[in-house]
Structure 1
Amino acid sequence: MATTLPRATAAPDSSTAAIRRLAEQGYDATTAEDLAEAVGMSRSTFFRRFGSKDDVVFADHDHALEQLEAFLSATELPAEEALVVGTADVLRLLVRDPEAARLRFDLMRHTPALRDRELIITHRYERVFARYIHDALQPGSPHWAAPALAASLVAVHNAALRDWLRGRVADAPRTVTRDLRQLTALYERWLSPDAADGRPRVLVAVYDAAGSPDAVLGAIATQLEREQ
């Protein structure tokens, strides 16, 4: 079984060219004929491939959602790891073409119709995650765990994407992976069979080799208290 999303092929030049034309001329001022010309297609071929102006902008999201669903349905990774890997690979797909990613971001900031479509895409991601999480939860988990974690995964993903777009982080997938591990750890008791059945947990401590025994024991005690 696959344990990671299939790596996406490079973003089609036609999609990037269409997004660039939308950014240059403005969303409302750009016609389907303009976009067909930008990508070197006839109008009918453009509509068969993309459907509409909105579909051009969100083509990568549609692709990412398809791959995410396929990954979550096939992976044998533990639930916590599957959610981290799947979400990070969505982000990796969306930033693989930096020009298209930044143009898309600018378009959505200035186009109300695209922001409405973005909300729909967000809900689609949440539904995909929620279905997987619901099936992965241990018996007795709270009813709100699946929708809450699903929404949080999308929020953490979007925060990392925005930080990358604004130049705050250089490696978006690495950043989101770190943040997602912190998030999913909060749900470990409901996602992990070991945590749910009370089996002993392992604590790995990192400490200063020059520290005194009392200092080391104190640091471990503090971490154990945080894990309660």
Structure 2
Amino acid sequence: MPSTSARARPAPENSIAAIRRLSEQGYDATTAGDLADAIGMSRSTFFRRYGSKDDVVFADHDHALAQLEAFLGGTALPAPDALVEGTCDVLRLLTRDPEAARLRFELMRHTPALRDRELVITHRYERVFARYLRAVLPEGSVSASWLPPALSAGLVAVHNATLRDWLKGGTADAVHTLGRDLRQLVALYRAWLTPDADPAAHRVVVAVYDAAASPESVLESIAATLP
């Protein structure tokens, strides 16, 4: 299932120039010719490369989706690490130009058609993650039917929440924050993603100790029982 359109993907900096023009003139007032001028290409080339004003706004997502698919398809990282790193790479791309990212956010806030298109993009990311997860889950796994859509939706939701928080000035280092939160999310699924992991990593230790003992002596006793 390809994640990008059949059109050649334009250079990211071209879409950024177009987003700035849309913000300056307004979405409805801006023509394809205006955007072609902003990008520095003919009107016919614009239609071949982008197709519509909507496609310009979401061109970075085409790049991000292609990048994500290529990464997940070629990485040798364990699944939990691959999911975190791939999602963080998407955020790096979408936030590489803070001004353009914020202009895109404002355009979507004030343009209902773009908000509808954003939902379609969200589902495309979920499908990319789900496809990867189905490929890496152990064959015959009882979780194969529910885990890919559940975890995929969670990855996208955490990414989008972090991006929105960054756009509103709530976090300075969005990629670091996203990585931290994604590791917590993926850890909830680790038993299914890495079923052959060292059982000792999930060992439960039950300690019985004298209520009058000091905390230090209790810790020493527990440490002495561990290998």
Once the two structures are superposed, the pairs formed by residues 13-28 of structure 1 within 5 Å of their partners are: 14-28=14-28
Runs of 4+ in 1 over 6 A off after TM superposition: 217-220
User: Cα deviation per residue 1:141-160 (whole Å; 9 max; x = unaligned)?
Assistant: 26211100000000000011
CA distance in 2, matches of 1:215, 1:166: 47
1:153 is aligned, of 155, 164, 167, to: 155
Partner of 2:127: 127
- Structure 2 unaligned spans of 5+: 1-10, 204-213
Counterpart contact for 1:11–1:97, Cα < 8 Å: no
Distance 1:218 1:122 in 2: 51
| Alpha-carbon distance between aligned partners in 2 of 1:11 and 1:96, rounded to the nearest angstrom | 10
**1:171 and 2:179 aligned:** no
Provide Cα deviations, 1:68-121, integer angstroms capped at 9, x if missing partner: 001111111000000000000000010001111111100011101101111110
Q: Which runs of structure 2 are paired with 1:111-126 in the superposition (5 Å)?
A: 111-126=111-126
Q: Map 1:41-56 to 2 at 5 A.
A: 41-56=41-56
Please provide the CA RMSD for this pair. 2.3
Is 1:199 matched up with 2:206? Answer: no
Q: Which has the larger radius of gyration?
A: 2
Amino acid paired to 1:85: E
CA distance in 1, matches of 2:39, 2:131: 37
Q: Structure 1 residues 166 and 215 mapped into 2: Cα distance closer, same or farther (>3 Å)?
A: farther
Q: Does 1:94 align with 2:94?
A: yes
CA distance in 2, matches of 1:219, 1:179: 31
AA in 2 matched with 1:174: H
- Equivalent-residue separation in structure 2 for 1:129 and 1:218 (angstroms): 45
Aligned residue for 2:210? none
* Inter-partner Cα distance in structure 2 for 1:165 and 1:89: 17
Q: In 2, distance between residues paired with 1:106 and 1:154? A: 20
Instruction: State the SS of the aligned residue for 2:35.
Output: helix
Identity of aligned residues (%): 70
* Structure 1, unpaired ranges of 5+: 1-9, 204-210, 221-228
In 2: Cα distance, 1:86 partner to 1:100 partner: 22
